[in-house]
Amino acid sequence: VGRIVHAIFSDGKGPSPVRPNIDDVEKDVRDSVDADDGAGGEGRRRRQKTKRRKGNYISNDGSSTFSFSSLLEGGDFPISVCRLISDMMVTPLEAATPRMGSSTPADEEREGGSSVDARDGVDPRNGDRDDDQDDNPFSSLDDVTRDLERMVDDPRTFLYDPEGGDFCSNLRFGRQGYYGRTRELRQFLDAATAERKKKDDDNSVARVDVIFVSGAAGSGKSHFVRNATEVLLRPGEYHNDGTMVLEAKFKRGSEYESQDILSSLFERLVSNIVSMSDDKGGSRRVSGNGNDGGEDEAEYGHRAARAVRETIDPAGLASLARFVPGIWKLFRKESDGDKERPHEASPPPVIGVAGAKAAENDSNQDSNASHWRLVFLLSGLLGAVLGLGRRVVICLDDLQWCDSTTSRLITEILISVSQRQEAMTEGGGGGRKSNQLLFVGMTRDNEMNNHPFTYQLVTLKKCISIDVAEIKLSILSKEDVVDMISYQFRLPRRLVRELAKEVHQKTSGHALFVVQLLNSLVQDSTISYSPLKRRYNWNIRRISALRTNDGVASLIVSNLSLLKPRLLRCLMILSCLGMQSDLSLIRILDRESPSTLSPQGGIESFLPGLVERGVLDMPGHSSSVIFSHDLIQQHIYDSIPEEERRMLHYGIGTFLGSTTTLDSTSHKSSIEGCVDQLYLSDASSTTNSMAKPLSLVFIAADQINAAGPEFIREHAQQTRFAGWNLHTANRAAEASNFQAALYHYGNGIDYLRGGLWLGDSTYQLCKELHEGAVIASFALGDAAGVERFANAIINNVPFEDSLVAQTLLIRSMKSSGNYAETIARGLAVLRMLKIDIPSAPSPMTIMQSMCSTGKITSQYTSSQITNLKQTSINARKRNILKIADAVTVASYREASPYLPLVACAMVTYSLQNGVVEESATAFVVYGYFKVFMSEDFEEGRRWGDIALKILDSSYAFTSMTLYGFLLFWFIPHREVSSILHGTYEAGMKVGDVDNATYSLCLSLRFSFFAGEKLSILSRSYDKVLSVIAKYNPECLKFCLIDSLVVDGLRGEDNCRFAAFEGRFQDENVLLADAKYRYHNQGVEAICLRRFFSAFWKGNYKEARKWVEAASSLPSYKMPKVQLIHHTFYRGLIAFQLYREGEGENWLEEGEKVLSKMELWLNNSKVIFESKLYLIEAEHYASMCNIVAAKESYELSAKAARDHALVHEQGLAYEVSTCCISFDQV
C-alpha cells in the first residue's frame, strides 16, 4: 500500500504516469503475512501489542499515530488519503488477511451492508455516532485496492481536495456529471464509432450512424445522451476536432410546432458556420481528422459557404430560405465583396433571376413535391457541410411528440444524406470522409405505440447505407446509484453503499425519482456536510424510516406544496408557457402585466431560488428558463385546477395580445397571395427585427387556444380570437409551416363554431379560415382535410367564391391518384366556368374539336403565340389553367378520350386570355394529337417548339411529355435519353419525384432503343430500380418491365421482382393485376415487352401473337417511342412470314410499314434512315429483287453505323444473311 501511495505522490503534483501493479502489492502483503505466521506467530503477537481506543491506534507509549484528525492536521495528505489510512488502521490486519480477495460488492449486498463495527458493536447504519468516529472501515484488502484504484483513475474527484465552497454548500444531484450505465454507454460509443473502425478494412460500410435511445419518462435519456456526446468530443479515442453538435427537443401537446423545431436545428447549423466565418482571430486551427496543421475556423466557415453554394443552385437557395431563413447569411459577404457589414437574413444578389423565379414556381407543387424538394435541399445543405471533413451530431429529444410529416422528413433526410455520402465515396470524393453524420433520437417507449416514427425506423433499418442501433434504458441498478452518490460526494463506494441501497429501494431505480429524492434529502438537511469528517454525512436510520411517495410525480408535487404561494404562482405561470420561457418574455410579464397575473415582486426575482431547488434550470449564459424535466412541468401544470388553468391562459394570452398589433391587424388579415403557394414567405419576414413581435403573436394565440373556445362565451370575443388565429395561421403559412398554420386555422374555425356562414360580419373571416385550412391541408398531403374544408366552402358560398377550394380539391384528387374523380370533377368545374368541353367524347367530337382549334391556331404564327406570353395573370385564370393541368395529367394516366378535348379547350383559352407557363402542357398535348390523329408532324413539331419557348424547365411533367411523347420523332433517341435524365435530376431538385422518376424510366427506355450496351443498361437498372421503388411504385412496374427485356436478351435472371417486396412475384401476376384494374397501359407494356423479346430471339410467330394482343388495346396507337420500333419490327416480320408462305396479307402489311417509314424519314434521318433501307431491302427480297435487296442491306448497315445504332447495324447483317441464304435455297 505504501508503494501505491508513494507512486501517487512521487512527482509532487499528481499520480505517477506508471500505474502501480496492484497484484504485486497484494502478493507482497500475503508473503509478509505468511512469513510472520511461519515464524511461530511472532508477527501476530507483535500486532496484538497495539490496543484499540476510540477508533485510533495507540502505541504502547500512548501517543496517537494514525487517527483521521491527526493525519489531517499534519497537512501532508489530501483528505481522501487521510481517510484511507485511518480506516485501514481501524480493523485488525489479521481479520483482513484470511478474507483477502474474497469480499466483493455483491457479498456486501447479500450481507445487507450492515457489518457490525468491531470497535463498539455499533451498527454502521445507526446514525448516532461520535463525530470523531470514522465509520465503515475496510473489511478486506480488496476494499483498499478499490479505493486506491479510484484515486489513480480519477484523482480530480477521489484524490485531490475539492476546490471552492460549492461542494460543501451547493450540492445538487443531476446538475452535472454522469454516473453508471457503463454498459449502455459502451454500446452507444461502439455504435457511434463502429463505422470508423470498420472503414479501414471494409469499404461497404454505413455512411450515417443512427442511434435510438428509448426508456420510460424520467429514465435519464437526455442526460445519458448528453454525457455520451461529451465523451465523443473529449480528446482521445473518439475525438473528432471541430465536431458540431445540434440539439432540439419536441414539445408535448405542440406537435404542430415540429417543423419549426426542425427548422431551428438547421438554423443553428447555419449560425455555427456564420460564426466561424466571422472569427477574425483565426487562433483556433483544427482539422476534421484531428491531425495537426488544419485550418482555422474562419477558413472552414468560408469553405462551408462555398460548398453550400456549389451544391444548391440559386433557385434551390431561394426555396430553402423559406425553411432556413438564415441561409442567406452564408453569402452576404461574398455578395458584397470585402465590405464589412453585418449578416442579414434578406436575399443577397446571388439569388439572381433564377432564384426569384423559383419562388414563383413553388406554387405549382403539390404536397408530395414540396416534401421531396425540402428533402433534397436540406440533405444537400447537410451533405455540403459533412463533405468538408467535420462531424455533425444531431440529437433530437422526445421524438414521440414529433408529427408524422416531420418524422417522414427526418427519415428521408437521413437516407438522402447517406446515399449522397455513398455516391461521394464511390466517385472518389476528393479524399473527403464519408461517415461524418451521427443522428441520435430519444423516445419514450411507452408512448411510441403506432407512432409514425416506429414505421420510419423500419425504413431506416432497411437502408444499407445507414447503421441503426437501439439502446433501451431500463431502471438504474444499485451499482449505478452507488456510482452516482460516490461521485457527487467524492467518497469511496464502500462508504455510500448503505445510502445507495436505501435510495434504490425507495425509488425502484427510476432515474428522475433518484435525483429528486436525493435532492430533497439534501434540501431538508437529512444529508449534510460535516466539517469535522470533511465529507457529507447522513443518518441511515432516519432515511430508512422515511415514507416516500408512490412515484416521482407525487414526490415532485409534495415537495412543491411546501413552497410559498408566490413561488407556486410563478411556477404555475411558467408551466402554462411550456417547458421553456425566454427571459425577455418573463420581463414583459413582470413589467407590464396586471398585478392579478404576475406575483408581487415579479417572476424573475424568484428564479434563482427555484433554480437552486432544482425545479428550474438556466444553463450557461442562456437567455431562457427551462424546467429541469418535462415531468416536473407537466405535473405542476396538471396540479392547477382546470378553471384556474384556463383563466391563467386567458390572462396571459389577452395581455400579450394587447402588446402586439393582433387586434388592429387580424380583422384586415387576408390569405390573398397565399392561395397558390407552398413556400410563401420572403426572407425579410424573419429578420431579427421581426422575431420578437412575431413570437409574441404566436404565444398570445397559443395561450388563448389553450384556454379553449368553450371558455370564451361572448360572441365578440369569439370573433376576436378567431381573427387572431387567422393572423397567426397566415404568418405560419408564409414561413412554410403548414402544420402550425392548419392548427391555427382549425382553432379559428372552432371559435366560430356557433355561428358559421351566417352572412354577417364573420362571413369573410369564416371563408378565409376555411380557405387557409384547405391550402394547409393540401400542402401537408391531407386529402381528407382538403375534402372536408373545401366542401364546407363549396356548400356555403357562391360558385365564383369557391374557385380556390375547387382548384385545390381537384389537385388533391390528382395527387392522391384518384384520376377518374379528378377528370369528372375537373370537367364539371371547367364547364361551369364556360369552358366548352363536349360532354360525350367520341372520334367525331375529338376530330371536330381538333379542326375548330386548328382554325383558331392557324391565325397565329409561332412568334405571335410566344409573344402573347404574360409574366403574370390574375388568380382566376391561373386557377382555371391549374384545374385543366390536373385534368390533363389524370386523363393521360387513364388514357381518357377527354385528353385531346381538354388540350384543345386550353389552347383556345390561352390564345384568348394570355399565354403563361401553365399553357405549355396544353400545347404539348395538342401537338401530340396532331401527330397521332393526322400524322401532321410539321404542326406537331411547331407546337413542341412553342412549348419549349414558354416552358418552365422545373416542371417535369411538361418536359417529360414534350420530349418523351412528342419531340422524340425529331430528336435522336440518345439525345432524348440525355435530356430526360436531365429532367429527372431537375425534377428531383424541385421535389417532383413522380414525374422525375417517369422521366428516368423513359431515359433508360430511349437508351435501349438507341443501341446502348446491354451490360451498361443492366447495371443502370440495378441502381435505379431501388430509387424508383422508393419514390414511385407505379412507375416501378413500367421500369421493371423494360429491364426484363434487357435481362432476357442477356440470358440472365436478376430477380428484379424482389423490388416489389412480395406484392408481385413474377410478370404473370403483374399482368393479372393490370387487367384487374383495367390498366391498359400496363397490359400494353407487358405485351410489347414480350413482343420485343420474341422478335430479338427470332421467334416471329410468338412476337406476332403479342403484338396482336397489344394492338387490341385503346392505348396502342397513342404515339410513344415503342410505336416506332414495334412498327419497324412488324414490317420485318410481315415480309419474313410472306416469304415463308403465310399469305399475301403479310406482303400488304409490310408495304404499309414501308410507306410509314418513307413518311417518317422526313422527321429525322438519324432515327429512320437505316430502318427505311432495311424495310426496303426486305421488300426487294420479297419481290425476288436480290440485287436491289443486297444494296439496301448494305445501305442500312452503313446508315446504322454512321448514326451509332449498333443494334440496327447487327440486325441488318443478320436479316441480309437470312435472306441471301433463303434465296440460295
Q: What is the 3-state secondary structure (H, E, C) of 335-368?
A: HCCCCCCCCCCCCCHHHHHHHHHHHHHHHHCCHH
Dist CA 459 CA 411 (whole Å): 8
pLDDT at 883 over 80: yes
Coil vs helix vs strand at 216: coil
Average pLDDT, stretch 964-970? 92
- How many CB atoms are closer than 10 A to CB 826? 29
pLDDT of residue 343: 43
CA-CA-CA-CA torsion sign (846, 851, 852, 858): positive
Which of the residue ranges 26-40, 485-499, 871-885, 1107-1121 would you say has the lowest mean pLDDT?
26-40
Dist CA 181 CA 187 (whole Å): 10
Dist CA 930 CA 879 (whole Å): 27
Q: HEC string of 169-180?
A: HCCCCCCCCCCC
Encode 204-234: b = buried (16+ Cβ within 10 Å), e = exposed: ebbbbbbbbbbbbbbbbbbbbbbbbbebbee
Q: How confident is the model at residue 1189 (pLDDT cuts 50, 70, 90)?
A: very high
Average pLDDT, stretch 265-293? 67
The helix (H) or strand (E) run that includes residue 57 is strand 56-58
Residue type, 890: A
State the alpha helices, DSSP H only, in 561-641. Answer: 565-577, 583-592, 607-612, 630-639
pLDDT of residue 1152: 94
Nearest to 488 by CA among 232, 203, 46, 177: 177
pLDDT of residue 1029: 84
Nearest to 354 by CA among 870, 952, 999: 952
Here the cell at position 12 is: 509532487
For residue range 546-587, list pLDDT tens digits in order: 776 555 556 665 666 666 788 888 999 999 998 888 888 888
For residue range 774-826, list pLDDT tens digits in order: 999 988 888 999 999 999 999 999 999 999 999 999 999 988 888 899 999 99
pLDDT at 690 over 70: no
pLDDT of residue 952: 66
- How many CB atoms are closer than 10 A to CB 793? 23
Dist CA 1172 CA 527 (whole Å): 99
pLDDT of residue 917: 83
Q: HEC string of 490-557?
A: CCCHHHHHHHHHHHHHHHCCCHHHHHHHHHHHHHCCCEEEECCCCEEEECHHHHHHCCCCCCHHHHHH
CB 899 within 8 A of CB 916: no
pLDDT of residue 1015: 92
For the ranges 258-267, 297-306, 318-327, the maximum mean pLDDT occurs at 258-267
User: How many Cα atoms sit within 13 Å of 1126 on the Cβ side?
Assistant: 27
Here the cell at position 570 is: 410563478
Between CA 426 and CA 431, with CA 428 as vertex, the angle to 5 degrees is: 130
Here the cell at position 973 is: 433517341
For the residues of 728-765, what is the DSSP string, one character each? Answer: HHHHHHHTT-HHHHHHHHHHHHHHTGGGTT-SSTTHHH
pLDDT of residue 239: 55
pLDDT of residue 21: 54
pLDDT of residue 123: 40
Average pLDDT, stretch 1031-1055? 87
Dist CA 410 CA 412 (whole Å): 6
For residue range 912-959, list pLDDT tens digits in order: 888 888 888 899 999 999 998 888 999 999 999 999 888 866 577 888
226-234's contacts with Cβ under 8 Å and 24+ in sequence apart are 226/178, 226/395, 227/177, 227/178, 227/185, 228/185, 228/188, 228/189, 228/192, 229/393, 229/395, 229/440, 231/185, 231/189, 232/189, 232/192, 232/193, 232/393, 232/438
Model pTM? 0.74
Dist CA 1039 CA 1018 (whole Å): 12
pLDDT at 231 over 50: yes
pLDDT of residue 675: 33
Dist CA 255 CA 414 (whole Å): 21
pLDDT of residue 480: 87
What's the farthest any 2 CA atoms get from each other in the chain?
138
pLDDT of residue 38: 53
Dist CA 226 CA 245 (whole Å): 10
Integer CA distances (angstroms), 34 to 30, 141, 768, in order: 6, 15, 95
Dist CA 605 CA 15 (whole Å): 46
169-176's contacts with Cβ under 8 Å and 24+ in sequence apart are 169/529, 170/612, 171/488, 171/522, 171/529, 171/536, 172/519, 172/522, 172/612, 172/614, 173/484, 173/488, 173/514, 173/515, 173/518, 173/519, 173/522, 173/614, 174/223, 174/515, 174/519, 174/614, 174/628, 175/614
Residue type, 229: T
Average pLDDT, stretch 893-919? 89
Residue with the bigger pLDDT between 14 and 1084: it is 1084
pLDDT of residue 99: 37
pLDDT at 1159 over 90: yes
Quote the distance between the C-alpha of residue 1205 and its chain's center.
Answer: 45
pLDDT of residue 1191: 93
Q: Are strands 56-58 and 51-53 parallel, antiparallel or unpaired?
A: antiparallel
Dist CA 589 CA 597 (whole Å): 8
pLDDT at 286 over 80: no
Dist CA 489 CA 530 (whole Å): 12
Dist CA 701 CA 662 (whole Å): 9
Average pLDDT, stretch 464-473? 89
Q: How confident is the model at residue 1146 (pLDDT cuts 50, 70, 90)?
A: very high
pLDDT at 1061 over 80: no
Between CA 1068 and CA 1075, with CA 1069 as vertex, the angle to 5 degrees is: 90
- Provide the mean pLDDT of the chain: 79
pLDDT at 270 over 80: yes
CB 250 within 8 A of CB 451: no
For residue range 363-389, list pLDDT tens digits in order: 445 566 778 888 889 999 998 888 887
Dist CA 401 CA 746 (whole Å): 20
Residue with the bigger pLDDT between 695 and 339: it is 695
- How many CB atoms are closer than 10 A to CB 1022? 12
Dist CA 780 CA 407 (whole Å): 13
Residue 339 burial (10 A CB sphere; 0-12, 13-18, 19+): exposed
Residue with the bigger pLDDT between 286 and 942: it is 942
Which of the residue ranges 498-507, 641-650, 1197-1206 would you say has the lowest mean pLDDT?
498-507
pLDDT of residue 753: 81
Q: How confident is the model at residue 18 (pLDDT cuts 50, 70, 90)?
A: very low
pLDDT of residue 1004: 95
Coil vs helix vs strand at 60: coil
Integer CA distances (angstroms), 562 to 122, 507, 554, 566, 567, in order: 36, 21, 13, 12, 10
- How many CB atoms are closer than 10 A to CB 1101? 11
Which of the residue ranges 98-112, 252-266, 491-505 would you say has the lowest mean pLDDT?
98-112
pLDDT at 266 over 90: yes
Integer CA distances (angstroms), 129 to 92, 121, 491, in order: 21, 11, 19
For residue range 587-630, list pLDDT tens digits in order: 888 887 777 788 888 898 888 888 877 788 887 666 888 888 88
Q: Write the CB contacts of 493 (distance below 8 Å, at least 6 apart in sequence).
A: 105, 146, 150, 482, 483, 486
Integer CA distances (angstroms), 654 to 568, 769, 1109, in order: 22, 21, 72
Q: Write the CB contacts of 663 (distance below 8 Å, at least 6 apart in sequence).
A: 657, 720
pLDDT of residue 969: 94
For residue range 842-860, list pLDDT tens digits in order: 989 999 999 999 999 999 9
Here the cell at position 975 is: 439525345
Nearest to 13 by CA among 91, 86, 92, 78: 78
pLDDT of residue 779: 84
Average pLDDT, stretch 484-510? 88
Q: HEC string of 131-174?
A: CCCCCCCCCCHHHHHHHHHHHHHCHHHHCCCCCCCHHHHCCCCC
Encode 470-509: b = buried (16+ Cβ within 10 Å), e = exposed: bbebebbebbbbbbbbbbbbbbbbbbbbbbbbbbbebbeb
pLDDT at 513 over 60: yes
pLDDT at 475 over 90: no
For residue range 146-170, list pLDDT tens digits in order: 888 888 888 888 888 876 666 777 7
Coil vs helix vs strand at 392: strand
Q: How confident is the model at residue 1013 (pLDDT cuts 50, 70, 90)?
A: very high
Q: How confident is the model at residue 143 (pLDDT cuts 50, 70, 90)?
A: confident
